[in-house]
Amino acid sequence: MNIEQIGPVGAEITDIDLSITDRIPAEAIKEAFLKYSVLVFKNQELSPKDLKNVSLVWGEPLIHPVFKGMEDYPEIIKIKNLGEKYHTNAHWHSDVTFEEEPPNATLLYSIEIPDTGGDTLFSNQYLAYEDLSESYKEYLDNKVAIHSNLGVLILAGGEAKDAKEVEHPIFRTHPETGRKALYVTEAFVKQIKDVESEISQETLSKLYKHSSDKNYVYRHKWTKGDLVVWDNRCVLHYAEHGYGDQNRTMHRITTAGSKPF
Ligand SMILES: [Fe+2]
CA 254–ligand 1 middle distance (angstroms): 10
Question: What distance in Å separates the CA atoms of residue 52 and residue 75, rounded to the nearest whole number?
Answer: 8
Question: What distance in Å separates the CA atoms of residue 193 and residue 79, rounded to the nearest whole number?
Answer: 34
Query: CA–CA distance from 136 to each of 128, 198, 202, 203 (Å)?
Result: 12, 17, 13, 10
Secondary structure, 3-state, 163-183: CCEEEEECEEECCCCCCEEEC
CA 89–ligand 1 middle distance (angstroms): 6
pLDDT at 107: 98
Question: What distance in Å separates the CA atoms of residue 168 and residue 189, rounded to the nearest whole number?
Answer: 9
CA 96–ligand 1 middle distance (angstroms): 8
- Residue 183: count other Cβ atoms within 10 Å of its Cβ: 29
- Residue 253: closest CA among 95, 45, 143, 126: 95
Check if CATH label 3.60.130.10 holds for domain 2-254.
yes
Q: Report CA torsion sign: 196, 198, 199, 203.
A: positive
What pLDDT, in 10s, does the model give residues 130-182?
Answer: 999 999 999 999 999 999 998 888 877 888 898 999 999 999 999 999 999 99
- Residue 56: closest CA among 42, 70, 71, 46: 46
Asked if pLDDT for residue 65 goes beyond 80, the answer is no
CA 134–ligand 1 middle distance (angstroms): 30
CA 93–ligand 1 middle distance (angstroms): 6
CB neighbour list of residue 199: distance below 8 Å, 6 or more residues apart = none
pLDDT at 83: 84
- Whether pTM > 0.85 for this model: the answer is yes
CA 94–ligand 1 middle distance (angstroms): 6
Question: What distance in Å separates the CA atoms of residue 116 and residue 220, rounded to the nearest whole number?
Answer: 13
- Residue 254: closest CA among 50, 72, 51, 21: 51
Please list all protein residues whose beta carbon sits less than 5 angstroms from ligand 1, which is an ion: 95
CA 135–ligand 1 middle distance (angstroms): 31
Query: Could you state, in order of their start, the residue ranges of all structural domains in the chain?
Result: 2-254
**pLDDT band at 85, cuts 50/70/90?**
confident
